[in-house]
Structure 1
């Protein structure tokens, strides 16, 4: 997680979930900021999802 820096936010569910801002990709239309959601259970990554704001 050191490569990603500090998370933008932490979501408290049954597991630890962190959201990181990835920025805006190049686009011909109005770009939406992309986010990376990482979910951990027992200190292991169980899901990584790319989201758009």
Structure 2
């Protein structure tokens, strides 16, 4: 089964944040992990409006 996750929700799930707004409070290690995940996200992973 395949689930579609919103582009902005995916990082918060990967980093175990309860809310998307928690991404603002990441430590350096978590930010590095987030940057790497975003760099690996294909450009067609979400619609342009998202």
TM-score relative to the length of structure 1? 0.21
Query: Which of structures 1 and 2 has the larger relative contact order (alpha carbons within 8 angstroms, sep 6+)?
Result: 2
TM-score relative to the length of structure 2? 0.21
Larger Rg: 1
